[in-house]
Structure 1
Amino acid sequence: MIHFDLKCAEGHSFDSWFQSSDAFDKLLAAGHVACAVCGSTNVEKALMAPRVRPSRDAAAPAPDTGTKGALSAPKSEAEAALAELRRKVEANATYVGGNFAKEARAIHDGDQPDRPIYGEAKPEEARALIEDGVPVLPLPFTPGRKTN
């Protein structure tokens, strides 16, 4: 696998993994590589710094991402907006996990107190909630508090 930093004609930067450099070239020629921000297929490789692994004896310094505890900082306005949305949802709503459909229906029917919730639902459960007039909305991220 090979990791490429990419950019589109609109100036958006994003990255992706490919099986090989040849695989990237074939996918690009077929129009299957698109900008993660705007969807443009006018994409090219961006200038990249090589990743050289330090010797086993050398202590590698932690990368400075600019955000405490994060693996990487958002690369675009869209990523930053999604991160902010996620932060607000997690700060202001109760995570109910796989009980989302049951909890949402109970709140809608008045059996539970009205409160903001989020969690997971199977597609058929979400469809049934929508058909019954329960106001639900899919989130563009997966919950970070998954429990096994």
Structure 2
Amino acid sequence: MIRYALTCDHEHEFEGWFGSSDDYDDQQARGLVECPVCASKQVRKQIMAPAVTGTKRTVKDIEPAKMQAMMMEAAGRIRRHVEENFDDVGDSFASEARAIHEGRAEDRGIYGQATPKEVRELVEDGVPVAPLPGEPPKKTEVN
């Protein structure tokens, strides 16, 4: 496995794991590598230092509570980005996502609600969908 630091044309930074550098090149050529934030397919590798392993390796464990807080923060940022930049199509998400995929509707980011059956059918038909992170609990609701 090889890990690449990637960035899109909107300067969103993320990482991707590939079986080999050829796998990355193949997926990139077929338009399968895209930004998880904005779905841009204009993705490039960042300059990275090689991973060097040795006999002494120190890794600081992140406390579970801190890890959970980091994950909730990231999920909240994703949700806010989607709500601020995508169209809310409500319960017509499945039909609108299919129409966009088939070229019958304007290509744009959308979010909304779909039943588990609708989501399963979209995935089976190759329509790219992903669940939107839930709203993080309000600080007043957390211990």
Structure (1 or 2) with the larger CA radius of gyration: 1
TM, length-normalised to structure 2: 0.47
Higher relative contact order (CA 8 A, sep 6+): 2
TM-score by length of 1: 0.46
Normalized per residue, which structure has more helix?
Answer: 2
